Amino acid sequence: MTQLHTRRAALALLTAAALPRAAHAAPSPLTAVPPPDRELMVPVPGGRVYVRVNGDLTARRPPLLMIHGGPGGSHAANLQAIALGADRAVVLYDQLDCGRSDAPGDPRSWTVPRFVAEIDPIRRALNLDRLHVLGHSWGGTLGLEYGARRPPGLASLILQGPLISTPVWLADARRLRATLPAHVRAELTRCDVLTADSPGCEAATDIFYNQFNAIERRPAWAQAYRKSLPMGFNPRLYQALWGPNEFRSNGQLKTYDGTPLLKRITAPTLILSGQFDAILPDTARRFARLIPRGEAQVISGAAHAIQNDQPGRWLTAVDGWLRRFD
């Protein structure tokens, strides 16, 4: 090769190295539910839980395990995560007495430690030596408790709209209620002292939920999937652990405060919340500062159910975080 050709080749290499790499395109939101690549029932303390997998468990990128909210919800709330399954496995499961899992209905099983104890059996059943975990809402409580144990192989943790502290959650709820129209606030105040629901209470509560829980209706395909489950929602479990609604708690979690656990988490941790979430953005940022490797991110145009309100932005945020710590 001549000296001129050598210089040209070197210049071409330098130019190529200087060019920015094409940004990775986040997955597109789902428009239908794909069938699972694998389904199984995993024995856990108290019964068996339903697990579904989409994607390759042996892929280079660690799988993502999703923990649904509630208490009493189901994996149907996390269907959009399946869109991440092109280059990593996505594992969804139903907690005991939820969705397609066994439903023994034993209140003695309805404790935080027992629900946390479902995670490791799922990991063992699927050989998840290294993984990411995302817990949403009440699932964020379980993710917090699990992350604070410093389990081996936890690549990263996402706590989405998490219940970290019931007193703080209720304080945020009071701040959110104060932004509602006066007549709605008056009705909710009246309902606070009632022992039974009334049509007026239900309507006022729905206004709160429509602004701070889920702004958008679930698409028809997601609603149909949820209706196909043996139990789409377990109100008895919700009331026993939490209470009558999102801004009143008289169940087992009424004094829960996991704030001291935040400093014990060593995995990179993202607290993800919506602009109009039940956990306020400043609360999310305050909690993130207590985690040694914590960060906070707020998704605009979304309430508590970010994956439903802004699925594209949610997928971009989650996919970007996971790739940072694969």
Q: Please give the positions annotated as active site.
A: 137, 277, 304
Give the type of residue at 43. Answer: P
- Give yes or no for a contact between 69 and 136, defined as CB atoms under 8 angstroms apart: yes
Task: Supply φ then ψ for residue 33, to 5 degrees.
Answer: -95, 115
Q: What six digits make up the tokens of 10?
A: 């070197």
Cα–Cα dist 77/180, whole Å: 26
Three-state SS across the chain?
Answer: CCHHHHHHHHHHHHHHHHCCCCCCCCCCCCCCCCCCCEEEEEEECCEEEEEEEECCCCCCCCCEEEECCCCCCCHHHHHHHHHHHHCCCEEEECCCCCCCCCCCCCHHHCCHHHHHCCHHHHHHHHCCCCEEEEEECHHHHHHHHHHHCCCCCEEEEEEECCCCEHHHHHHHHHHHHCCCCHHHHHHHHHHHCCCCCCHHHHHHHHHHHHHHCCCCCCCHHHHHHHHCCCCCCCHHHHHHHCCCECCECCCHHHHCECHHHHHHCCCCEEEEEECCCCCCHHHHHHHHHCCCCEEEEEECCCCCCHHHHCHHHHHHHHHHHHHHCC
